[in-house]
Copies of this chain bind each other. A is one copy, B any other.
Amino acid sequence: MDKAELLASEIRHIDITEFDPRPMLEAFGRMAFQARNLATAASIYNRMLEDSSCSIILTLAGSLFSAGLKNLVVDMIEHNMVDAIVATGALIVDQDFFEALGFRHYIGTPHVEDSQLRKLYIDRIYDTYIDEEELKTCDMTIAEIANQLEARPYSSREFIDHMGRYLMEKGLQSEKSVIFSACQKGVPIFVPAFSDCSAGFGLIHHQWNRKGNKVTIDSAADFLELTRIKLEAKDTGILMIGGGVPKNFTQDVVVATEVLGYDKPMHKYAIQLTVADERDGALSGSTLKEASSWGKVDTVYEQMVYGEATLTFPLLLSDAYHRGSWKERKTARYADLFR
């Protein structure tokens, strides 16, 4: 097969308004194992939405947007269901910004010879394909944005805000975009390991070629900014998809407020959808009960759900969408704190 044949079928993003899983989740709540856990998680998320003192932080890790979960996050933003986002660079830059520039992800298969893909400049994520040449355009667009900025340290949040403004100026080449909507709705996006993605390629291109002072990305500034949000919020709830740096970073802000001399409560609500388990001691699979020993997460409303996110995240979100608690909710517009 040639490249055009391999990249013939686009991934499409699921639309959580198109189906109503409430009766299914209600049934799940009276069953066992992960079905019941998912129902419990859904009811905790609904409780967060109803709690007017609660700011909601969404953490994202794993290849979620290439898998069709991007518009779901856009819908969260548009419907005031989230107040801050902490994510991996792959999600925000290589996948969301990439699609906003007009590029797409394609339905592939894991049963393929990777050497064949290599020759065609097709990159594979399990069963999904990407045109590598399009990714390079994405890298270079980041370099272009960096080249136009004043040479000084930026938090990832601030740099991503500039990416949002770039999209507003140039026009969105995809139906929806997380960066674009977040920029408009004042939802700050943090990427604590911002160089670990397409942004890294653009930024080193900038730093390598720029004479004199350069744009730098200060990851400490990100941590300080997210801590300021924790200081602003009365209560907080965290909805974590996958683990990794976004999970740890977000749990840590409770301790960070203490380091700055404040006495703030732990995260009041916590949900994690994950496939990792606790028995290798790694952070991604560590339980929310364990996090409570660190003083990070309260244990009254917490739920781990073990399942792959393409199966669990749409159900959880669509349930909350249809229950409608977001209709009364206001966005905190935390991005305005830093603008």
Which residue from chain B places its CB closest to the CB of A34 in the assembled complex? B308
CB proximity of A132 to chain B, nearest CB, Å? 7
In the bound complex, CA of A24 to CA of B311 (Å) = 10
Is A63 an interface position by the 8 A CB rule? Answer: yes
Is A339 an interface position by the 8 A CB rule? Answer: no
CB proximity of A307 to chain B, nearest CB, Å? 6
Indicate if the CB atoms of B281 and A32 lie closer than 8 Å.
Answer: yes
Q: A276 — which chain B residues lie within 8 A by C-beta?
A: 276
CB-contact partner of A32 in B35, B66, B118, B318, under 8 A = B66
In the bound complex, CA of A309 to CA of B33 (Å) = 9
Is A67 an interface position by the 8 A CB rule? Answer: yes
Is A284 an interface position by the 8 A CB rule? Answer: yes
Pick the interface stretch among A50-58, A161-169, A293-301, A330-338: A293-301
Is A36 an interface position by the 8 A CB rule? Answer: yes
CB proximity of A326 to chain B, nearest CB, Å? 20
Chain B CB count within 10 A is highest, among A18, A218, A306, A309, for A218
Is A314 an interface position by the 8 A CB rule? Answer: yes
Indicate if the CB atoms of A195 and B249 lie closer than 8 Å.
Answer: yes
Knowing A36-B310, A279-B306, A311-B35 touch, does A194 contact B219 (C-beta < 8 A)? yes
CB-contact partner of A220 in B38, B63, B203, under 8 A = B203
Q: Taking beta carbons and an 8 Å cutoff, which residues of A are in contact with B?
A: 10-15, 18-21, 23-24, 27-28, 30-36, 38, 61-63, 66-69, 90, 105, 107, 110-111, 114-115, 117-118, 122-128, 132, 136, 139, 153, 192-197, 200-201, 203-208, 215-224, 227, 242, 244-245, 248-249, 252, 255-256, 259-260, 275-284, 286, 289-290, 292-295, 299, 306-312, 314-315, 318
